[in-house]
Structure 1
Amino acid sequence: MSIEVVENNVGHLLEGPHWDQASGSLLYVDILGQTVSRYNPGTGNTVKVNIGTMGFESLPPGLNEKVLPGLASLYCLHPDKSLKTHLQGVGLSNGMAWAEDYKTMYYIDSFSGGVDAFDYDVASGTIANRRRVITIPKNEGFPDGMCIDSEGKLWVAHFMGAAVKRYDPLTGEKLRTVQLPTDIITSCCWGGANLDELYVTSSKLSLSEEKLKAQDTAGYLFRVTGLGVKGVKAELFDDLSHLA
């Protein structure tokens, strides 16, 4: 296994990595920097555009943020652009993944300390029968973003846990730990031509000035190779507006 930095000091709060197979590039956001970036590993070039905001009580440079609990929700955006709320009173919506047969959806509310599963109806996009499948001990940080591999195992980023960990959602067992050089690990996704490279985002958020000096890779983008497992192709949103 090898861990490498692919982009240095590119933001405050990197999140939402997504591998675009059509262009062979990685998309990700910097929430506090209000940017979306596209990184091309073939050329090493990155293109950024400005986007969105997030409602913290305070913002950088202090980074003494506090997310207000219970105000988040989980939505489903349908191809006809209609929006349906499926969950309310969420602390902090994060990772989502689907089993290969699309009969199970996995979801993380970071404040709840684990990964939940739902029965999923792919035709209607509805969820039911919520249950806890993975519990993250508090001393291992908060579960943040996640992705799924071709063997149906979940890879969960541990915010304040300096790691991405692989779990079996059928048993809840922790199978593997990939230790990273900075505490605030936010999300991960599979990429590369063979979907066998794990891209990992990180953040400077919640780190003291002392820790920021010690953890000089906070806010970097990492790539992990040699894991011996592959990811699955990400589905594209089916926008029906072109049929109108």
Structure 2
Amino acid sequence: MNNISIAFSSQATLGESPVWSQSRGRLLWVDTLEASLNVFDPATGQNIVHTMPSPLGFVTETHEGQLLVGIGCHIERVDETTGKRQRIATAPHAQKGYRLNDAYLDPTGHLWVGLMDEGLSEGSGYLYRLAPNGVWETIDSGFTLINGIARSLDGGTLYVTDSRHGTIYAYEHDELSGEVSHRHRLIDIAPNEGKPDGLLIDQEGCLLSVLFDGAGIARISADGDIVQRITLPVLRPTSCAFDSSHKYLFVTSARLGLSPTTLANMPASGSVLQIDYERIMRQGSAA
């Protein structure tokens, strides 16, 4: 795996939600269950940890450089300098045992985010869109473990993952109105391939679906075909993010639920990985 290295040797219980901060030139990521907000500098290897309440579902950066996090069913703004948090919104269907999961901030400043039942009750999850003015809109429901959310390069398609069922859905998306419609199954990932988790679009418009329990990333065409598979040295990768150059891809991972034998065989579990994505694409084959 010459194209894959350990960027930061953490032992995250559930590393998640990596996003590249343009204003900081750093990778933001969270450990959901240990409730840590992390700011990682690939140039120095330094990882700064900010302790948050649990469960910490996601972090994202607004276009103004502000940090937003999902804590339980709430969205809060975090002052990185002081550590102070300001609650700005609460999910419409917030209730005990539920929490916000993955999120995606679109170019217009709308936050797309899923709400899940931690007990994974069938069809209990929701997809929301939160406007910059704080107004919520319930986009869809019926998910069991709503996860990775992404948008096509042209903005015409919204992709949403239900990890429990191994399905990535595609919606038609109107950029002007923000409306989505005509949900359909783009792809069903076979259980033995892993569970689709975090989702990202590369510069060629392919979907990168991180396969929890699958030790890899599936590169999927807009037609729903797996065109490439990148093998990883961790059984439970969770999500991924490009740096500003799109040369490198960072992948978070989890140690949650792994046996001592698996951890011994895959000691990088829980670490942040770095993939030379540009080189892999040039080679045209999996790492």
> Where does residue 61 of structure 1 map in the other structure?
none
Percent identical pairs in the alignment equals 33
TM-score between the two structures when normalised by the length of structure 1: 0.84
Partner of 2:34: 33
**Candidates 202, 214, 217, aligned match of 2:265:** 214
The aligned residue for residue 238 of structure 1 is: none
Match of 2:108 in 1: none
> In the alignment, which residue of structure 2 is the partner of 1:90?
143
Matches within 5 A, 1:1-244: 2-54=3-55, 67-69=119-121, 70-170=123-223, 172-191=224-243, 193-225=244-276, 226-228=279-281
Native 8 Å contact 1:27 1:37 kept in 2: yes
In structure 1, list runs of 5 or more residues that go unmatched.
Answer: 58-65, 230-244
8 Å contact 2:126–2:143 — kept in the other structure?
A: yes
Q: 1:67/1:187 Cα in 2 relative to 1: closer, same or farther (>3 Å)?
A: farther
Kept in 2, the 8 Å contact 1:3–1:223? The answer is yes
- Shift, 1:40, TM fit: 0.9
SS of residue matched to 2:228: strand
Q: Which amino acid aligns with 2:27?
A: L
**Would you say the 8 A contact 2:149–2:161 is kept in 1?**
yes
Letter in structure 2 aligned against 1:50: T
- Counterpart residue type for residue 235 of structure 2: D
Q: 2:11·2:269 contact (CA, 8 Å) conserved in 1?
A: no
Q: Is the 8 A contact 1:118 1:129 kept in 2?
A: yes
Query: SS of the counterpart of 1:228?
Result: helix
**Matched AA of 1:206:** G
Match of 1:62 in 2: none
Q: Residue 33 of structure 1 aligns to a residue in which SS?
A: coil
Provide the rounded CA distance (Å) in 2 between the counterparts of 1:187 and 1:74.
18
Task: Give 3-state SS (helix, strand or coil) of 1:32's partner.
Answer: coil
Which whole-Å CA distance do the structure 2 matches of 1:163 and 1:110 have between them?
15
Measured in 2, the distance between the counterparts of 1:50 and 1:124 equals 38
Determine if contact 1:113/1:138 at 8 Å carries over to the other structure.
Answer: yes
* 4+ residue runs over 4 A deviation: none
**3-state secondary structure, aligned to 2:280:** coil
**1:91: Cα distance to partner?**
1.1
Q: 1:168 to 1:203 in 2, by over 3 A?
A: same
Deviations 1:158-185 (A, max 9, x none): 0100001111022x21111111112101
Letter in 2 for 1:33: E
Aligned amino acid, residue 209 of structure 1: P
How many Å apart are 1:52 and its aligned residue?
4.0
Give the aligned length: 219
Structure 2 CA distance for aligned equivalents of residues 163 and 89 of structure 1: 27
CA–CA separation in structure 2 for the residues paired with 1:48 and 1:93: 27
Segments of 5+ residues of structure 2 without an aligned counterpart are: 56-71, 73-95, 98-117, 283-287
Structure 2: how far apart are the matches of 1:34 and 1:79? 25
Q: CA RMSD in A?
A: 1.9
3-state SS of 1:211 partner: helix
Higher relative contact order (CA 8 A, sep 6+): 1
Counterparts in 2 of 1:119 and 1:94: CA distance versus 1, 3 Å: same
Question: Measured at CA, do residues 161 and 95 of structure 1 come closer, stay the same or move farther in structure 2, by a change above 3 Å?
Answer: same
